[in-house]
Amino acid sequence: MTSSFRFAVLGCGRIAPKHADSLKKIDGVSLVACADRLPDRAKSYAEKNAIKAFDSLEELLSWGQFDVLSVCTPSGMHADHAVAAMNAGKHVVVEKPMALLLEDADRMIEASIRNQVRLFVVKQNRYNLPVLALRQALDEGRFGKLVLGTTRVRWCRDQKYYDQDEWRGTWAQDGGVFANQASHHIDLLEWCMGDVESVLAKTATHLVDIECEDTGLVILKFVSGALGLIEATTATRPKDLEGSLSILGERGSVEIAGFAVNEIRHFNFVDVRPEDVEVKNKFSSNPPSVYGFGHHNYYQNVVDTLRKKAEALVDGKEGRRSLELISAIYASAESGREVFLKKDSLGSRLGH
């Protein structure tokens, strides 16, 4: 018999409906409660999903009749909320980025080990169909030696977007385009290209009044010797243009484009296979929003892992890996120097 799991959501804002919708599609699990410090938000989310509403994490935890907490609060709060839930014996699914400080990520990993509960970090773009096709080609060794990996995020976030909640664009709770919007693409780049040795970054704030950057560039050197480039901005106007990823190797090159890394533009290999012709047609649908389709598949992996039928795709350690890279990017932008991930201090204003 498959075990059933009861979920609760903390933070009933923009991303929370994706969690509810995904959970509804998975057999044997249920969403039973939510909490938000704004009672009206909790109430309306609860009404929509026919679940219980609470006004704080403390109240939700003292009620306690659930197994997994999905943390959808502002990024700078993730660690405290996740650790409190894990100390109460709950498994935790935490939205990206898992935290803004590496020491917070370490606290979360430690709490999960100490309490013998699971910690998952949401990186739903890994489940985009074109990304899965790329990943399969990488796993099969079709690229040969990797040469260059680049990602480009050209999205539109205007002042109205940043003004809708006070945490957006702040060092203490959010970070800029690298920690927030491009964190998915940074994760995908590293997932495909392997560990990063060093980064050299430049950032700027061009079109909005926020503490952090709306635009940035990073040159990367991977441990393998391959090079990389990240171009990220929320200062594209008047609308989202692109979220893309290119992986180039000695025996092949793949480019995934669209506005949410959702469409294969090039899929070229020296060892051409008959099924390659179909890949471009099969993987070319635009998702309705930049959040993409992946939350459902991501949650399926969470539930399968809890049922001990799968390995976690992004656990705490894997989530920390991309936070380490993001921290290095900010450290480099601040110091103006190339930062080596395993040698240099990765501290910056992010998370403070």
Binding residues for ligand NAD (CB under 6 A):
10-15, 35-38, 41, 56-57, 72-75, 77, 95-96, 122, 124, 165, 180, 291
What minimum distance in Å lies between the beta carbon of 22 and ligand NAD? Answer: 11
Which residue of this chain has its Cβ atom nearest to ligand NAD in the complex?
A: 13
| Spatial separation of the C-alpha atoms in residues 111 and 94, rounded to whole Å | 14
What minimum distance in Å lies between the beta carbon of 162 and ligand NAD? Answer: 11
Tokens of 70: 């999905």
Cβ-based nearer residue to ligand NAD, 16 or 137 = 16
Nearest to 30 by CA among 10, 9, 57, 14: 9
Cβ–Cβ < 8 Å for 299, 23: yes
Cβ-based nearer residue to ligand NAD, 306 or 314 = 314
Cβ-based nearer residue to ligand NAD, 56 or 305 = 56
Cβ-based nearer residue to ligand NAD, 75 or 198 = 75
What minimum distance in Å lies between the beta carbon of 227 and ligand NAD? Answer: 27
What minimum distance in Å lies between the beta carbon of 130 and ligand NAD? Answer: 17
* DSSP calls for 94-154: EPSSS-SSHHHHHHHHHHHHHTT--EEE--GGGGSHHHHHHHHHHHTTTT-SEEEEEEEEE
What minimum distance in Å lies between the beta carbon of 151 and ligand NAD? Answer: 15
| Spatial separation of the C-alpha atoms in residues 87 and 79, rounded to whole Å | 12
Tokens of 50: 């026919």
Cβ-based nearer residue to ligand NAD, 252 or 294 = 294
**Angle at which helices 102-114 and 316-335 cross, to 10°:** 170
